[in-house]
Amino acid sequence: MKKPTGQTPDETEVFRQWVADIRTDFHRHPELSGQEIRTTQKIRKILTDLGIQATIFDDITGAVGLIRGKAPGPCLAIRADIDALPLDEVGGRPHGSTIPGAMHACGHDANTAIVLGLARKLKDTGLDQQINGSVKLIFQPSEEKLGGALNMINQGVLDNPKVNRIIAGHMDPNFPVGQVAVFSRLGHAASLSFTLKVQGKGAHGARPHMGINPITVGAAFVSGLDGLIQRQVPPSQSAVISVGSFNSGQAGNVIPEIAMLAGSIRTHNLEIENKLKQALTDLAAGVGTVFNAHCNLVFKEGAPLGLNDPDVCNDLKVAAWQVVGKENVHVLPFIMGSEDFYYFTQKCPGAMMRFGCACENDGIIHPLHSPKFDLHKDALAVGVDTMLAAVKAYFKLE
């Protein structure tokens, strides 16, 4: 990673520690989707202390910071997601979560710290007063539940001033720290969540023939999913069906009445999504008929198909080149994760990039959404410097 210019080594280290401390604070105090009250207040205080106009979004969670330049011009938005996941952190790290049942296992604490670091960098260097236009910092709640972006859009976050371009970054442990990944067009998968309620018939465990075991029905449904991709999706296309929740019963000697399953469909082809949706509907009806159970399958739209603007992608790639060098920048064909950031790109040109955060020597190797997930703090510096390079390029600053 190249050293930033305009600062002494001591100043650079102080700044980087400031960003790392912010990330640590957020990591130790994670808040779940829709509950990011402390996080929001902390963001507003940091922005206000930097002399940046800050508004708490919807008066509850989510914040917007607006940096106005020296003259009118286009508005560049930079988005960070701020919510945590409902996990208990494993590992006993000093900076670990102090909140039972909540953990920043997707790196949103780092995403937020990076954008706050960018805000300070723009103010400290005086670059904010060289801008013809404005920079809007969007701190979005409820990404994990896939509702925060659309809610902010519906309440006008892309207006006043109107956003002309939006960018975002995210941690990625699939790459070592010091590397950056960008897209060329196709990005994250569209997601469709589903729940299946199986209504069976309760009975004594010694007399299963007198009941209808919803666990057996649900298991048949899950087993039937295994071959759907092979039968329904061409090898040239991408699709994933996953079941992440299966709950039923309270005792080992009681046939329960109900089983509940939840999962998701992810694909980069909306025709395939519709095809798989119908296949799951048919499968649920089929197992219900075979076992004489009632199966209620409900779908809920998740994140949209991730389409990045090619010009914005190229600009992010060039910005990353300047920070980590061409040899450390990767162009991804797509990824199967989903992101509600792409609701923003339906309204204005935008793109995401990924910051490598793994470090095998330090044991930082676990994937996103793992209770053991962590990141190398140098990924924060890469994120800030790459974002800064993107801002400078967009506004044609030296």
Q: Are residues 18 and 111 in the same domain?
A: yes
pLDDT range class, residue 127, cuts 50, 70, 90: very high
Q: Is the pTM of this model over 0.85?
A: yes
Q: Are residues 236 and 174 in the same domain?
A: no
How confident is the model at residue 2, as a pLDDT? 53
Q: Are residues 199 and 75 in the same domain?
A: no
297-354: pLDDT as tens digits: 999 999 999 999 999 999 999 999 999 999 999 999 999 999 999 999 999 999 999 9
Q: What does DSSP say about strands 132-140 and 63-68: parallel, antiparallel, or unpaired?
A: antiparallel
CA 167 from centre of chain: 13
Q: How far apart are CA 343 and CA 122, in angstroms?
A: 27
What's the full length of the chain, in residues?
398
Cβ-contact 382, 324 below 8 angstroms: yes
Q: What does DSSP say about strands 165-176 and 254-255: parallel, antiparallel, or unpaired?
A: unpaired
Q: Are residues 202 and 86 in the same domain?
A: no
Question: Which residues, including other chains, have CB under 8 Å from residue 129's CB and lie 6 or more apart?
Answer: 69, 70
46-70: pLDDT as tens digits: 999 999 999 987 768 999 999 999 9
- pLDDT of residue 9 exceeding 90, the answer is no
Q: What is the mean pLDDT of the chain?
A: 96
Q: How far apart are CA 323 and CA 310, in angstroms?
A: 20
Q: Tokens standing for 161?
A: 């001033």
Strands of the sheet with 258-267, listed across from one edge: 239-248, 258-267, 190-199, 294-301
Number of domains in the chain: 2
How confident is the model at residue 218, as a pLDDT? 98
- pLDDT of residue 16 exceeding 90, the answer is yes
What does DSSP assign to residue 163?
A: P
Domain containing 224 equals: 192-301
Whose structure tokens read 């990404």?
143
Q: Are residues 164 and 284 in the same domain?
A: no
Q: Are residues 53 and 154 in the same domain?
A: yes
How confident is the model at residue 239, as a pLDDT? 95
pLDDT range class, residue 146, cuts 50, 70, 90: confident
**Residue 365 belongs to some domain of the structure:** yes
**Residue 4 belongs to some domain of the structure:** no
Span 97-112, average pLDDT: 98
Choosing from 277, 301, 325, the residue where a domain stops is 301
Q: How far apart are CA 107 and CA 356, in angstroms?
A: 11
Q: Are residues 121 and 143 in the same domain?
A: yes
**Residue 203 belongs to some domain of the structure:** yes
Q: Which amino acid is at 205?
A: G
204-255: pLDDT as tens digits: 999 999 999 999 999 999 999 988 998 899 989 999 999 999 999 999 999 9
Q: Are residues 205 and 314 in the same domain?
A: no
188 is in an annotated binding site: no
Q: How far apart are CA 53 and CA 4, in angstroms?
A: 26
Q: Are residues 356 and 284 in the same domain?
A: no
Choosing from 258, 284, 301, the residue where a domain stops is 301
Q: Are residues 183 and 53 in the same domain?
A: yes
CATH number at 284 reads 3.30.70.360
Q: How far apart are CA 276 and CA 299, in angstroms?
A: 11
Span 370-395, average pLDDT: 98
pLDDT range class, residue 185, cuts 50, 70, 90: very high
What is residue 295's three-state secondary structure?
Answer: strand
Choosing from 301, 328, 343, the residue where a domain stops is 301
CATH number at 324 reads 3.40.630.10
Percent of the chain beyond pLDDT 70? 97
How confident is the model at residue 106, as a pLDDT? 98
Strands of the sheet with 180-183, listed across from one edge: 53-56, 63-68, 132-140, 71-81, 165-176, 350-358, 180-183, 329-332
Q: Are residues 343 and 207 in the same domain?
A: no
369 is in an annotated binding site: yes
Span 261-270, average pLDDT: 96
**Residue 1 belongs to some domain of the structure:** no
170 is in an annotated binding site: yes
**Residue 314 belongs to some domain of the structure:** yes
Question: Which residues, including other chains, have CB under 8 Å from residue 380's CB and lie 6 or more apart?
Answer: 16, 19, 20, 23, 110, 113, 114, 117
376 is in an annotated binding site: no
106 is in an annotated binding site: yes
Q: Tokens standing for 219?
A: 């298991």
Q: How far apart are CA 398 and CA 276, in angstroms?
A: 50
How confident is the model at residue 60, as a pLDDT? 80
Phi, psi at 125, each rounded to 5°: -90, -10
Residue among 304, 315, 312, 234 at smallest CA distance from 276: 234
Span 106-126, average pLDDT: 98
How confident is the model at residue 6, as a pLDDT? 57
Q: How many CB atoms within 10 Å of residue 186?
A: 16
